């Protein structure tokens, strides 16, 4: 069988003299390619300055891009995480997606990733040798009332929240607003400039039992709407358990990203009590969908 010629020849010599920097694209919190939350993973970030990393994150224009570095505290790798606008100490979908890449490269069933918020262990599950699911232990969040609740509700275009509007910190800062049903969440059309001025990531959610739907808006981080927010999933499980909507130890399922055509599925669980959270776990699937090289001088 005759092989067809390429539409355009491979660009082997186009940028000769520039160093090649390999990267992967991983679709996170989905079992289907081209859904979930996109992640850029630069496999060797040692030659990049902080400014380079931020510029590359803007170039990739995903919710987050990560840069892998040699470990310093006994983990498999260290990582730095950037949105198009800023560096984050921790974020959920970058940790899960990176764990799939690192676990695949090393052939392991568990990895430890060193982040700005500490070492994060991730357990990996395989089928037929291929990683199909990962579960991370997240930093236990702190929480407090959100002082600018009225401004936030006005920016979202809603009258009230069915639970207290509270702010959680596990590296990123998330504020939670519970609405009356899925139609109310789907209908949100936030005033992005007003949300930008508030400077927080806002998760609007609804549901019951173990089934929940959420949308997350974070224009201050360069992300108008996030397809899947792993760092918000853990505190959501804490929030629901603290206020008695689920039991501590119950795993919840969270749907996100449908309104922006990137459907995602996340799993989260908090154990302990309202007075003492013992652990927070978030899990999901991911797909490595692309690899490439940036040909740039550094």
Same domain, 180 and 267: yes
The set of catalytic residues is 64
Mean pLDDT, range 120-130, rounded to an integer: 96
Same domain, 164 and 133: no
Q: Quick one: pLDDT at residue 6?
A: 66
Residues in Cβ contact with 254 at an 8 Å cutoff, skipping those fewer than 6 apart:
205, 212, 213, 214, 233, 236, 265, 266, 267, 268
Q: What is the pTM of this model?
A: 0.93
Q: What is the dihedral of CA 139, 228, 132, 281, to 10 degrees?
A: 20
Instruction: State the average pLDDT for the chain.
Output: 94
Q: What is the domain range of residue 85?
A: 20-138+285-295
Give the residue with greater pLDDT, 93 vs 19. 93
Q: Quick one: pLDDT at residue 15?
A: 57
Same domain, 77 and 57: yes
Does residue 161 have a pLDDT over 60? yes
Distance CA 19, CA 153 (A): 48
pLDDT band for position 296 (cuts 50, 70, 90): confident
Mean pLDDT, range 161-169, rounded to an integer: 98
Q: Quick one: pLDDT at residue 7?
A: 77
Distance CA 47, CA 19 (A): 10
CB atoms within 10 A of CB 62: 22
Percentage above 90 pLDDT, the chain: 90
Q: And the tokens for 55?
A: 């510029």
Same domain, 54 and 83: yes
pLDDT band for position 18 (cuts 50, 70, 90): low
Does residue 132 have a pLDDT over 70? yes
Phi, psi of 293 (to 5 degrees): -135, 135
Q: Quick one: pLDDT at residue 12?
A: 57
Same domain, 273 and 148: yes
Same domain, 100 and 197: no
Same domain, 290 and 250: no
């Amino acid at each position: 069988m005759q092989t067809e010629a390429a539409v355009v020849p491979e660009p082997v010599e186009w940028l000769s003299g520039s160093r090649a920097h390999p990267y992967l694209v991983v679709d996170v919190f989905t079992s289907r390619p081209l859904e979930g939350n996109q992640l850029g993973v630069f496999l060797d970030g040692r030659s990049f300055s902080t400014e380079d990393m931020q510029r590359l994150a803007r170039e990739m224009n995903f919710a987050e891009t990560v840069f892998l570095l040699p470990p310093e505290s006994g983990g498999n790798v260290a990582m730095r995480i950037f949105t198009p606008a800023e560096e984050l100490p921790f974020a959920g979908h970058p940790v899960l997606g990176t764990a799939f890449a690192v676990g695949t490269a090393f052939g392991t069933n568990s990895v430890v990733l060193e982040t700005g918020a500490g070492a994060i262990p991730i357990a990996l599950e395989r089928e037929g040798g291929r990683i199909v699911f990962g579960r991370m232990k997240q930093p236990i969040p702190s929480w407090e009332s959100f002082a600018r609740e009225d401004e936030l509700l006005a920016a979202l275009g809603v009258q009230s929240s069915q639970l207290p509007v509270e702010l959680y910190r596990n590296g990123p800062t998330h504020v939670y607003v519970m609405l009356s049903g899925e139609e109310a969440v789907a209908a949100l059309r936030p005033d992005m400039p007003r949300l930008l001025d508030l400077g927080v990531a806002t998760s609007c959610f609804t549901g019951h039992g173990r089934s929940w739907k959420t949308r997350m808006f974070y224009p201050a981080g360069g992300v108008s709407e996030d397809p899947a927010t792993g760092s918000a999933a853990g505190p959501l499980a804490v929030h629901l358990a603290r206020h008695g909507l689920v039991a501590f130890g119950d795993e919840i399922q969270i749907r996100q990203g449908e309104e922006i055509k990137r459907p995602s599925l996340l799993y989260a669980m908090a154990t302990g009590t309202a007075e003492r959270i013992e652990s927070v776990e978030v899990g999901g699937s991911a797909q490595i969908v692309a690899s490439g090289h940036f040909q740039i001088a550094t």
